[in-house]
Chains A and B, each alone.
Chain A
Amino acid sequence: MNIRLIAGLTVLVVLVVAAVLAPWLAPHDPMTQSLFNQLLPPAWLAGGDANFLLGTDNLGRDLLSRLIYGAQPALLVMFVGATLSGMLGVVLGLIAGFFGGWLDAVISRIVDVFMSFPPMLLAIVLVAVVGPGVGAVITAIILIGWTRSCRLVRGEVLALREQEFVTSARVLGVSRLRMIVHEILPNLLPLLSVLFGLEMGRAIVTETILSFVGFSSSSIPTWGSIIADSRPYIYQAWWAMAYPTLVIMIAVLGLNALGDGLRQATDPLARR
């Protein structure tokens, strides 16, 4: 039984269902304001309204509906951001680790430069240049994320390259491309699984932060913007900030577990 994999998949399925079926699942329109229903507490607290299960925000928008719709940008950002940043990092890491020499030196120095730059500053500068929007957020996630996967993959490839089976493939006359795809890449799978889970989680967190500082102007509410919107009312309406935070935590934990679970599932050494 792979509990992590099951937990992670459950979280992922819930996210996907929420995002795809948001118009049917959400009890209200996430953008509809209602001056009569400002800052309503969750339904089970005193003064709560059963129509607004998790309460409302300062403009009277239904929190549950906003959270459900928030799954859409979260999913987009996490899939596209983690996949592209992962791919960029893996390709460059493979090249640096496998070929070594000046290629490695150049790639490694670029990674150093990127890593020495405060990541949020990097993202903010980028959004300021490109203009706010989901595209800018995803670009920022890629620019921040690729260095981590690149460095990890490079290290792993350096170790794998010294293994005798790579030498054995060389003696067999295997081409370099086939060597990378056939010999090295399968051995990177466990690392990539964990990395992908972590990067998806990080993408959500990065998106939250960028939304929080107001760089994600999207027509749909994002979890980060929900938190940002409710920040001034934290003393009157803690729920408006607590629930999105909780949702983000569960999503990130679930995605990390998914990565770990995938690693276990793809490891032939675990098979007897």
Chain B
Amino acid sequence: MPALTIKLAFSLMLEVRGLRLSLPDRGHKPAFGRTPMLEILKGVDLSVPAGASVGVVGESGSGKSTLARTLVRLYRPTAGTIVFDGEEVGSLEGMALRSLRTRMQMVFQDSQSALNPRLRIGTILADPFIVHGRVRTTTEALARAEALLEQVGLSRQYLFRYPHQLSGGQRQRIGIARAIALGPRLVLADEIVSGLDVSVQVQILELLSTLRASTGMAVVLISHDLSVVRTFCDSVIVMRHGEIVEAGPTASLFEAPQHPYTRRLLRAIPLPEVDPSWIDSVNLIED
């Protein structure tokens, strides 16, 4: 549908076409010679309009996390294009890449390891401002850090704490605060609620929604949890083995899933309703 693509191009903030990525396959490294390459992303297309929330779902090994990491350019794509705000960012280097970091940020899954255990929260949050020269003094940086804390619903006393003194939910708030510090246009959230209690999950996702509404940033939510994506995203892509099996607006994809894999995924989710037949409802042997 080239016509449609052209029509939408002006409103699309991020447009990914035919994204491929191969990484060295360390598991099969021979004693001598070159490490074989393994293709993780096999031609991914993705469009994110400004201010939208897009869900990326899939199981482990589907490449969804690698997709996020490629979009923030932790990896350099093997092929394909990533157009962000009208600029091809797939091959950026050096200062241009650094400037991309102010506009595109990421929140990581494991809040424990994503925050430097030896730095106080204040230092962690002041970092973005210092690194990108947005402040002149440490006092100024700390003031910005304090404002950030408030934005994610934490009081200023946390400035002086270390990450391990916070709960998982609080740490994830810090992760979000750091990501939104420079006012990015797009935030990639990689499994940010897995491992948290459900009641804390809701708070974190709501915080992200509120911030999205107030700042106009777009969010790409990577998750294995279809219920989370259903509740918080406008559109969804379903990934499997490095490919997109189905994509579309959330409501239609969930109400009328086209691909058998999507249907299987949905059926496999145990809803909190007593149903003795559920256990036999899905094929045990993989197709």
Measured CB to CB, the residues of A under 8 A from B are 163-165, 167-175, 178, 182-183, 186-187, 189, 268-269, 271-272
Which B residues are CB-close (under 8 A) to A175? 131
Q: How far is the CB of B31 from chain A (nearest CB, A)?
A: 16
Check B116–A183 contact: CB distance below 8 A.
Answer: yes
Candidates B106, B108, B114, B117; contact of A268 at CB < 8 Å? B117
| B132 CB-CB contact with A under 8 Å | yes
**Which residues of chain B from 96 to 124 have any CB-CB distance to chain A below 8 Å in the complex?**
97-99, 101-102, 105-106, 108-110, 113-119
| Given known contacts A173-B131, A173-B132, A165 and B114 CB-to-CB distance under 8 angstroms | yes
Inside 8 A of B98's CB, which chain A residues have their CB?
173
Is A269 within 8 A of B164, CB to CB?
A: yes
A266 to B13, CA, bound (A): 46
- A260 CB, nearest partner CB in chain B, Å: 18
For B249-270 the 0/1 string (1 means CB < 8 A from A) is 0000000000000000000000
A167 contacts B97, C-beta separation under 8 Å: no
> B1: CB under 8 A from chain A?
no
A186 to B163: give the CA distance in the assembly, Å.
Answer: 14
User: Contact at A189–B108, with CB atoms within 8 Å?
Assistant: no
A164 to B115, CA, bound (A): 7
Q: Is B74 an interface residue (CB 8 A)?
A: yes
Number of A-B residue pairs with CB-CB distance less than 8 Å in the complex they form = 66
A164 touches B118 (CB 8 A): no
Q: Which of B99, B105, B115, B132 contacts A171 (CB 8 A)?
A: B105
Q: Within the complex, what minimum Cβ distance (angstroms) separates B154 from chain A?
A: 18
**A168 and B108 contact, Cβ closer than 8 Å, known pairs A173-B132, A186-B116, A186-B119:** yes
Among residues of B, the one whose C-beta sits closest to the C-beta of A170 is B74
Supposing A165-B113, A187-B118, A268-B162 touch, asked if A171 and B127 sit within 8 A by C-beta, the answer is: no
Contacts of A189 in B (CB 8 A): 118
Q: Which residues of A contact B131 (CB under 8 A)?
A: 172-175, 178
Tell me which of A165, A173, A178, A272 contacts B116 (CB under 8 A): A165
Across the A-B interface, give the 10 residue pairs with the lowest CB-CB distance, nearest first: A173-B101, A186-B118, A164-B114, A173-B98, A164-B113, A165-B116, A268-B162, A164-B108, A171-B106, A163-B113
Chain B residues near A186: list those with CB within 8 A: 116, 118-119
User: Would you give the 0/1 interface string for B67-89, flagging 1 where the beta carbon is closer than 8 Å to chain A?
Assistant: 00100101000000000000000
Check if A168 sits within 8 Å of B114, measured CB to CB: yes
Interface contact A271-B114, CB-CB below 8 Å? no
Neighbouring B residues of A271 by C-beta, 8 Å: 162, 165
Q: Determine if A272 and B165 form an interchain contact, defined as CB atoms under 8 angstroms apart.
A: yes
Cross-chain pairs A/B with CB under 8 angstroms, 29 sampled: A163-B113, A164-B113, A165-B114, A165-B115, A167-B69, A167-B74, A167-B114, A168-B106, A168-B175, A170-B74, A171-B72, A171-B74, A172-B101, A172-B131, A173-B97, A173-B98, A173-B102, A178-B131, A182-B127, A183-B116, A186-B118, A187-B116, A187-B117, A189-B118, A268-B117, A269-B117, A269-B162, A271-B162, A271-B165
